[in-house]
Every structure is written in structure tokens, then in C-alpha cells.
Amino acid sequence: SGPLLKVENLTKHYPLGTGFLKKSVPVIRAVEEVSFSVEAGETLCIVGESGCGKSTVARLLMRLVEPTGGRVLLDGTDIAGLKKEALHAWRRRIQMVFQDPYSSLNPRLTAGRIITEPVENFERLSRKQRQALAADLLRKVGMSPEMMHRLPSDLSGGQRQRLGIARALSLNPSLIIADEAVSALDVSVQAQILNLLRDLQQQMGIAFVFISHDLGVVEHFAHRVAVMYLGRIVELAPCEALFTKPVHPYTEALIGAAPVPDPRRVRLEAPVEGEVPSPINPPSGCAFHPRCPLALERCRIEVPPLVPMPDGRVVACHVRAPATDIPGRPVLAGD
Ligand code: SF4
Ligand code: MG
């Protein structure tokens, strides 16, 4: 059997305005030919500075926006061809946990109503059934069943994010997409939520696509990590390999050349010299070239392809992972 989720050449361009002259409407190149897969029960983290396209990838996976190109397959099935009932079944299997627990929960609904709502979109529940389901879900996320009567405003940030997770769990998903799901929380609460997610993964076999700008969060949570820069994946590697031996110059810069005693202090906010260029008019060739200490003339002209390395990672860099003309036969640095 293949991977749970397979993403092939996913691309999203947003037109900027309508443009009264049809020919030259500028576009935001939010996501460019992104490909990856996620195994059942696996955690893939997507990291990058803000504006690199991470959240657009999340929205594309949820089909909250339509892709400009490429495909998203769940268990080998492309959602694009699905009719009503199959589409509903597909939607049940992918759920999302949002960044901001303060704004993603309806303030007028009780906790119990909030977490059972996704199920009630599919089937009618009696009051008794709803309360039993709410109690079960609250226990799963480490909360007392009596919390079902509270309003979001009566809960702490960590409790609200637990509710967001309980709601995502209510339909027994195979995959949860979490976009900056712990970024708004204190570090100690972050650790509790990450532990909860890990426990749920072990108990229920849920896969995660976990999106974060924070390398400190990712290092102890991911199985594999995809690093994005200006809409493209530049390196995708097993987590430990990425942190101990980054290959792409951007990954290297994010992690820092020297060992970092406290990984939580590594911030992606401004780790690399210079600003992230605009996705409206990204640099030619390798988009990282204006900030890259290793850039060659070639980097200004040619987009580097993702090249597989012997340890299972893929890297897009003319210098660190040069491709040959023969597809699938990379010449590796040092050969
Ligand atoms: Fe730097 Fe060139 Fe590699 Fe891009 S392709 S990361 S500019 S060396
Ligand atoms: Mg974002």
C-alpha cells in the first residue's frame, strides 16, 4: 500500500487584482510545484519563514482553496474527481487544527457543542449521544467532562487549543493538519500540547502535517521535516539528519552553524541576512540566491531541481546537490 497522503507538483498562484488589460495580471507565486508524501501515523513538519507558502499548502490540503496545478491524493484517490458522498467521506478523514485558539472557536457555543459540531454536520445526535461523545472527546484531550458546559471565554489558551484538537478528533481522522497550532501558547503549554498530540498519534495512528516557523518545536516532534523557501521545498529530510547535518544553505542558516544549547532560542524570525523577497516577483533561478553565501552565476539563471541524496533526503541546490542530465542519477558533492 502507498502513502496515506501524496502531494504532486502542488502549485498556487493568486492573481493580484483583476487587471483591466487581460495580458499582464501580476500573480503571487504562493506555492510552486510542491511534492511530498506522508505515511499513516507519521509527522511531517513544514518549516519556513512567514510568507514562504506554508499556510497556503495547508489550505490546499484542506481544499479550502483550489490549486492552480498539481494533485492531492489520499490513499491514492484524487479529491478532484470525487462526487458528493465520496467527497464527504474524504473530508471526514482530514481535519485541521488552527493557529489561534482564541479566534477559531465560536464564542457563543459551549465546549461540548464546539467539539461535537463536526459530527453533527454529518449525522443527528440525541442530547444523550452528544453528551457522551463530548465527554469522551474531552477525556481524550486530557480535560474533565464537566468542561463541556463552559464557554471558550472561561477557558485558558491551552484549554482552548485542547478543544480545537478534540473537535478535530471527533470524526476519527487519518490526518490532522496543524497550522502554527502551538505558536500562540506559552512554551510550557506548547510542550503539553505537543505531548498530547504525540500520545494521540500513538493511540490512534493519526498522521500530522505540522506547520511551524519555530525550529525548536519541530526538532522534538517531527519524523521528517520539509523546509520551504518562497513557495518551494528546498530540503526534505528525516528530522535528526536535518538538524545534525543540514545540506541546503538555507537550512544550514536556519539551524545555525554552531551547536545551539537551547533549541527553543532558535527563531526563524530573522535567522538569515536580508529580507525574504516578495513572492510577487521572486528572484530568478534559485530564489535564495540573493541571500546565499555560496551562490554561483548558474544560481541566478536555473531553478535547482530537488535531487535525492543517499540518506533519503531531497535537496534543491546547484552546489550542494548538483543534478546530472540523467534523471535519477545525481552526482553528489564529493563524488
Ligand atoms: Fe545557494 Fe545556488 Fe544552492 Fe541556491 S542553488 S542555495 S543560490 S548555492
Ligand atoms: Mg502562516
Span 176-224, pLDDT tens digits? 999 998 988 888 899 999 999 999 999 999 999 999 988 888 998 999 9
Going from the Cα of 246 to the center of ligand 1, the distance in angstroms, rounded, reads 14
Mean pLDDT of 132-136: 98
Going from the Cα of 51 to the center of ligand 2, the distance in angstroms, rounded, reads 7
Neighbours of ion ligand 2 (CB under 5 A): 55
Q: Which residues line ligand 1 (CB under 6 A)?
A: 249, 286, 288-289, 292, 294-296, 299, 304, 317-320
How many Å apart are CA 13 and CA 193, to the nearest integer? 34
Task: Please tell me the number of the ligand nearest to residue 100's CA.
Answer: 2
User: What pLDDT is recorded for position 262?
Assistant: 42
pLDDT band at 32 (very low <50, low <70, confident <90, very high): very high
Going from the Cα of 318 to the center of ligand 2, the distance in angstroms, rounded, reads 28
Contact 182, 193 (CB under 8 A): yes
Structural domain includes residue 166: yes
User: What pLDDT is recorded for position 23?
Assistant: 62
Strand partners of residue 7:
36, 72
The closest-lying atom of ligand 1 relative to the alpha carbon of residue 287 is 4
Which residues constitute the domain of residue 58? 5-315
Going from the Cα of 54 to the center of ligand 2, the distance in angstroms, rounded, reads 6
Contact 174, 206 (CB under 8 A): yes
User: What pLDDT is recorded for position 261?
Assistant: 42
pLDDT band at 326 (very low <50, low <70, confident <90, very high): very low
Structural domain includes residue 75: yes
Q: What digits encode the pLDDT tens for the residues 237-295? A: 999 999 999 999 999 999 884 344 444 444 444 456 666 777 777 899 999 999 999 99
CATH of the domain at 290: 3.40.50.300
Q: pLDDT at residue 99 above 60?
A: yes
Residue with cell 522534538: 220
The closest-lying atom of ligand 1 relative to the alpha carbon of residue 292 is 1
User: What pLDDT is recorded for position 19?
Assistant: 58
Task: Please tell me the number of the ligand nearest to residue 229's CA.
Answer: 1
User: What pLDDT is recorded for position 294?
Assistant: 95
How many Å apart are CA 60 and CA 63, to the nearest integer? 5
Q: pLDDT at residue 102 above 80?
A: no
How many domains does the structure of the chain reveal? Answer: 1
Structural domain includes residue 76: yes
The closest-lying atom of ligand 1 relative to the alpha carbon of residue 299 is 2
Structural domain includes residue 328: no
- Round the average pLDDT of the chain to a whole number and report it: 88
Structural domain includes residue 324: no
Structural domain includes residue 295: yes
Going from the Cα of 198 to the center of ligand 1, the distance in angstroms, rounded, reads 35
Q: pLDDT at residue 327 above 60?
A: no
How many Å apart are CA 24 and CA 294, to the nearest integer? 34
Of the chain, the percentage scoring pLDDT greater than 70 comes to: 88
Mean pLDDT of 57-75: 93
Three-state SS annotation for the chain = CCCCEEEEEEEEEEECCCCCCHHHCCEEEEEEEEEEEECCCCEEEEECCCCCCHHHHHHHHCCCCCCCEEEEEECCEEHHHCCHHHHHHHHHHEEEECCCCCCCCCCCCCHHHHHHHHHHCCCCCCHHHHHHHHHHHHHHCCCCHHHHHCCHHHCCHHHHHHHHHHHHHCCCCCEEEEECCCCCCCHHHHHHHHHHHHHHHHHHCCEEEEEECCHHHHHCCCCEEEEEECCEEEEEEEHHHHHHCCCCHHHHHHHCCCCCCCHHHCCCCCCCCCCCCCCCCCCCCCCCHHHCCCCCHHHHHCCCCCEECCCCCEECCCCCCCCCCCCCCCCCCCC
Indicate the top mutation candidate among 227, 297, 299, 314 to test ligand 1's pocket, ranked by most ligand atoms within 8 A of CB.
299
- Reported ipTM: the value is 0.96
Q: pLDDT at residue 153 above 50?
A: yes
The closest-lying atom of ligand 1 relative to the alpha carbon of residue 318 is 5
Structural domain includes residue 333: no
User: What pLDDT is recorded for position 267?
Assistant: 42
Structural domain includes residue 264: yes
How do 224-229 and 232-238 pair as beta strands? antiparallel
Nearest to 219 by CA among 247, 251, 184: 251
- Write the residue with the smallest CA distance to atom 5 of ligand 1: 317
Q: pLDDT at residue 97 above 60?
A: yes
Mean pLDDT of 132-149: 97
pTM here is: 0.88
